[in-house]
Amino acid sequence: MNKIYNPERSQWKTVLKRPTQSVSEVEDIVSAVFSEIKAGGDTVVSNYTKKFDGVDLQDALVSSKEIEDSIKLISNDLKLAIQQAKNNIEKFHKAQKTEKITVETADGVLCWQEKRPIQKVGLYIPGGTAPLFSTILMLAIPANIAGCKEIVLCTPPNKEGKVHPAILYAANLCGVTKIFKVGGIQAIASMTFGTETIPPVYKIFGPGNQFVTVAKQIATKYGISIDMPAGPSELLVMADDTANAAFVASDLLSQAEHGVDSQVILVSTSKTLIDAVEVEVAKQIQDLPRKEIAFKAIANSKLIFVKDQQTAVDIINEYGPEHYILCVQDEEFFLEQTYNAGSVFIGNYTPESAGDYASGTNHTLPTNGFAKQYSGVNLDSFMKSMTFQKISKKGIREIGRTIELMAEAEGLQAHKNAVTLRLDSLK
């Protein structure tokens, strides 16, 4: 692990650099796949599935029988765990509902705002080295609460052309309308343009590798909205001498095992803690089934010592972590001054894993520093705010002259006339 002591502010950008490729380095590849799928549809998608996933599929749509079979392949204990997580996630996201806002801005001028669901949404669920069925709960549950009519899910198949049963079980449980065995760039492109079998959507959600992240950004060029640029997982832990070194190490490793391009950082005002965490990481990593992946991710990790709390919070805001664990004596100081983080986990007994699975908060969060300007997925992510207004005769008399004067000043005579005609009719 890389230990860094009191880095100068001028060095922070280099010290905090993420181990990811830039958009420009993969954009040409992604754009080429998009162009092919736009022109060739299902045939091109099938070719890419054969190339990247090593399986030749006759039909990418998951059948009802496959879904039924998946129920039998899941243990009762896992079903109960998924149900408890589902209940907690539903509670938290249902609480995010807001009522219609109505205001009479002037006599006879009634304005209101209502939220309406996005009708068609696409969910991308990575397969790869870990079947992230938990992400289905995080996306399909709020989509259903919002009232989305069409929920399309794409996920890569394995070498046998199958989808992990836990993914199918969770998708069925949470009301996904169609599931397709399509992964990577081709999945995002398919949901962007639509193919003979995969319907186009209005907004795409879900994490993925760097190619999926760039594909989602390319999709926006074609009028598709996305949740956020969510790439490789990352975690920053802020800890002092009150933290438990074994707990901190376990949290760092929980993110490191996601993928070789994951990044974990410890910021601390205690050299003693840093040393203890380093020892614990070396000890705990040996017992992990995914230790080869974790080893590579840990090679990109940083253990950063800073002299005081203010420097610590400044470096945290500069990094803008996806996940942020806070194990310090002075919680209030850090909470009040932290502005850039996807989701915050407070105290020795709040592991990041809780938010990944079952506490109720959403785990689809901005990475790569996008926490500085993006929110994590929430109920509003699946909705649009629409404004309405109704003006009475009294109301148009009340604000009509104001509209006329402003329209005339902007040189928009037709705008003025639309009001003048109405005012004249009331004389």
182 contacts 198 by C-beta, under 8 angstroms: yes
**Known binding residues for NAD(+):** 124, 186, 209
**Known binding residues:** 124, 186, 209, 233, 255, 258, 323, 356, 410, 415
Does the annotation mark 322 as catalytic?
Answer: yes
Residue among 36, 234, 278, 322 flagged as catalytic: 322
**Known binding residues for Zn(2+):** 255, 258, 356, 415
197 contacts 169 by C-beta, under 8 angstroms: no
User: Which among 201, 184, 180 is positioned nearest to 192, based on CA atoms?
Assistant: 201
Residue among 280, 323, 352, 363 flagged as catalytic: 323
CA distance 363 to 341: 12
Residue appearing with tokens 């949901």: 191
- End-to-end alpha carbon distance in the chain: 81
383 contacts 146 by C-beta, under 8 angstroms: yes
Which is it for the CA torsion 318, 323, 327, 330, positive or negative? positive
CA distance 138 to 17: 28
Q: Using the 8-state DSSP alphabet, how is residue 348 labeled?
A: T
Does the annotation mark 234 as catalytic?
Answer: no
Sequence-distant contacts of 96-104: CB under 8 A, at least 24 apart: 96/378, 96/379, 96/380, 97/145, 97/379
Catalytic residues: 322-323
